[in-house]
């Protein structure tokens, strides 16, 4: 059972895994968890101080030394992402896993009134940057023995919901992207694309979306880590094109 996957300190031994949005919320906990499982994590995010705090925590625990990759996915160009891929190649030669976790919520407003600038920002961070970064990193993933790309969706990525605007549309595009990448690489045994829907999880984003909710009724990022680790392990090398729901109703 993926949601109960029993991981250990060697589950991701010697793997190199890039996590976007690694400074806070689910991405922070995923980065720490991957490091605790033996991976060298590349911490990508927009707030340097938060990335440094995660870096320090990993160092203090005596885990494999991570790297910090400051990047604002809203502003970053394709050329900058390719440059980043070049730097990673020089330093590490390949990449075993990518967790596309960074996202923004945008506005919770009817589309009729949705601010087009916010719409573009949400689509850039949640969808366009995900595509551009994936394309930039595919050569490095192909260089791995078994490359795993994990995208992050949401319940509104499977089913459109009123007032969820660009966020819902961006996540639907992400689910579509997983399916297309999977179909286009079906003959490649060494590369796989999957998606996680974390479900309601205790983070800043969730608190913004549901301000009246008691956060202590929610699962924590730690609770949902089994699926996040599993998809990065070699045990999951045959798992392709799946959307894993961490908290099915
Ligand atoms: P948070 O808002 O807590 O964390 C998001 C992270 O992404 C932050 O570290 C943030 O950086 C980073 N980020 C945002 N914009 C950018 C950018 N332009 N460039 C680089 N990094 C950026 O969100 P969650 O942890 O809750 O969400 C993680 C993922 O899970 C998202 O994809 C979200 O859509 C999805 N999800 C979450 C659910 C939940 O209940 N929490 C439910 C369903 C899906 P900074 O710290 O600098 O702001």
Taking a C-beta distance cutoff of 8 angstroms, is the pair 128, 173 a contact?
Answer: no
Residues contacting residue 30 through CB under 8 Å, at least 6 positions apart: 19, 22, 99, 101, 221, 225, 228
- In whole angstroms, give the CA distance from residue 231 to residue 238: 10
Residues contacting residue 117 through CB under 8 Å, at least 6 positions apart: none
What percent of the chain is modeled with pLDDT above 90? 97
> In which residue are the tokens 């994590």 written?
41
Question: Is the pTM higher than 0.95?
Answer: yes
Taking a C-beta distance cutoff of 8 angstroms, is the pair 100, 133 a contact?
Answer: yes
Adjacent-strand bridge partners of 197: 245
Burial class (CB in 10 A: 0-12, 13-18, 19+), 214: exposed
173 CB within 6 A, ligand 1: no
Taking a C-beta distance cutoff of 8 angstroms, is the pair 137, 42 a contact?
Answer: no
Instruction: State in Å: Cα 188 to ligand 1 middle.
Output: 30
Considering only CA atoms, give the Rg of the chain. Answer: 17
- Among protein residues, the one with the nearest Cα to ligand 1's atom 44 is 154
Residue 194 tokens, joined: 């999957």
206 CB within 6 A, ligand 1: yes
Instruction: State in Å: Cα 152 to ligand 1 middle.
Output: 10
Instruction: State in Å: Cα 159 to ligand 1 middle.
Output: 20
27 CB within 6 A, ligand 1: yes
Q: What is the position in ligand 1's atom list of the atom closest to the CA of 50?
A: 46
Q: Give tens-digit pLDDT for 1-52.
A: 899 999 999 999 999 999 999 999 999 999 999 999 999 999 999 999 999 9
Q: Give tens-digit pLDDT for 199-234.
A: 999 999 999 999 999 999 999 999 999 999 999 999
Taking a C-beta distance cutoff of 8 angstroms, is the pair 218, 202 a contact?
Answer: yes
The number of CA neighbours under 13 Å toward the Cβ of 91 is 16
Taking a C-beta distance cutoff of 8 angstroms, is the pair 246, 197 a contact?
Answer: yes
Taking a C-beta distance cutoff of 8 angstroms, is the pair 171, 196 a contact?
Answer: no
Predicted complex ipTM = 0.99
45 CB within 6 A, ligand 1: yes
205 CB within 6 A, ligand 1: yes
Give the residue numbers marked as catalytic. 167
Q: Give tens-digit pLDDT for 79-124.
A: 999 999 999 999 999 999 999 999 999 999 999 999 999 999 999 9
- Among protein residues, the one with the nearest Cα to ligand 1's atom 43 is 154
């Amino acid at each position: 059972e993926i949601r109960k996957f029993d991981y250990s300190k060697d589950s991701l031994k010697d793997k190199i895994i890039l996590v976007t949005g690694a400074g806070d919320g689910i991405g922070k906990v995923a980065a720490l968890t991957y490091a605790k499982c033996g991976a060298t994590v590349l911490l990508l995010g927009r707030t340097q101080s938060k990335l440094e705090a995660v870096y320090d925590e990993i160092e203090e625990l005596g885990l494999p030394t991570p790297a910090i990759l400051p990047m604002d996915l809203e502003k970053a160009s394709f050329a900058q992402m390719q440059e980043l891929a070049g730097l990673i190649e020089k330093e590490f030669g390949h990449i075993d896993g990518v967790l596309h976790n960074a996202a923004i919520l945008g506005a919770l407003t009817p589309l009729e009134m949705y601010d087009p600038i916010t719409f573009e920002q949400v689509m850039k961070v949640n969808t366009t940057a995900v595509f551009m970064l994936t394309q930039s990193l595919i050569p490095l993933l192909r260089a791995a023995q078994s490359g795993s790309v994990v995208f992050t969706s949401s319940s509104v990525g499977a089913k459109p919901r009123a007032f969820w605007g660009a966020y819902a549309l961006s996540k639907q595009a992400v689910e579509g992207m997983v399916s297309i990448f999977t179909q286009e690489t079906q003959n490649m045994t060494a590369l796989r694309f999957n998606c996680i829907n974390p479900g309601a999880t205790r983070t800043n984003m969730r608190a913004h979306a549901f301000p009246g909710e008691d956060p202590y009724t929610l699962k924590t990022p730690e609770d949902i880590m089994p699926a996040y680790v599993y998809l990065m392990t070699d045990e999951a090398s045959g798992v392709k094109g799946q959307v894993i729901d961490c908290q099915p109703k």
